[in-house]
Amino acid sequence: MAIQTLHDTGDSYDIPSKFDGGTYATGIADTVCKGIGSEFQLNYSSDSLNVTFDAGSQAVIGGSFFRVTSLESVTLVANSTIYLCANIDLSRPNGSTGAFVQRTASNMQSDNINGSGTSRDLLLYVVTTGANGVVSVQDKRVIKGDGTSISGLEIVVLTEQEYEALLNKDANTIYMVKD
C-alpha cells in the first residue's frame, strides 16, 4: 500500500521528526506549556548577569517539543537589550538542538523547521542589562494548555444529535461525537 497512517501500524511506525512537528504545528502555536514545571520562570538578580531556568518547563516551538531537563544558566551580555528565547536549531548536532539564546529584535529566528528552515525562536523575555546585572525584565511568554483550546479553537464534545443540529453552523469549532 502506498498510503500509511499511524493507525495502520500501531506503535511500530517510525515517524520522522519533521512529519511529527509539522502535524503539531498545524494545531499548536509556539507556546509555553501551562502548568508544567515553572513555565520558564526567569531567575535573575540586579547584581548579576547570570540568569537561570529551572528544570521541568516545556514548550512547543514550530511543532517540536522543547523541555528543560536540568537547571540551565545563561550569562547575559552587559549594557544591552536582549530578546531571551528558547531556540531549536537543527544545524546543531543531534541531542543538542535546543538552547536558550540571546537575540536582538532584528535577528529573531522564525524558520519553518519542518520544511527547509533550521532555526526557530520562542521569545520568553526582553531583558535590559546594565554593566553588572539585570535592570529590567518584560515577560513575553505565551502560556497555553488548559485543555479547552487549541490555537484559539474551542473544543466541544456533543452527542450525535447535537452534532447534526450544529453541523456547518460554526466553522471555528471542532465537533467530536461522543458515544
pLDDT at 7 > cutoff 60: no
Tell me if 174 sits within 8 A of 158, measured CB to CB: no
Q: Does the model's pTM come out above 0.85?
A: no
Q: Mean pLDDT over all residues of the chain?
A: 77
For residue 115, the model assigns a pLDDT of: 82
For residue 177, the model assigns a pLDDT of: 47
81 against 65, higher pLDDT: 81
93's grid cell:
548536532
Quick one: which of 43, 35, 37 has its CA closest to 68? 37
Tell me if 20 sits within 8 A of 52, measured CB to CB: no
40 against 24, higher pLDDT: 40
Please report which helix (H) or strand (E) contains residue 153, including its range.
strand 153-158
pLDDT category at 14 given cuts 50, 70, 90 is: low
For residue 86, the model assigns a pLDDT of: 94
pLDDT 10s digits, 130-162: 999 999 999 999 888 754 444 444 444 556 666
Mean per-residue pLDDT, 69-79:
94
Tell me if 74 sits within 8 A of 50, measured CB to CB: yes
- Cα dihedral 36, 57, 145, 27, rounded to 10, equals -140
pLDDT at 44 > cutoff 70: yes
The ranges of the chain annotated as CATH 2.60.520.10 are 13-146
| Span 13-146 CATH architecture | Sandwich (2.60)
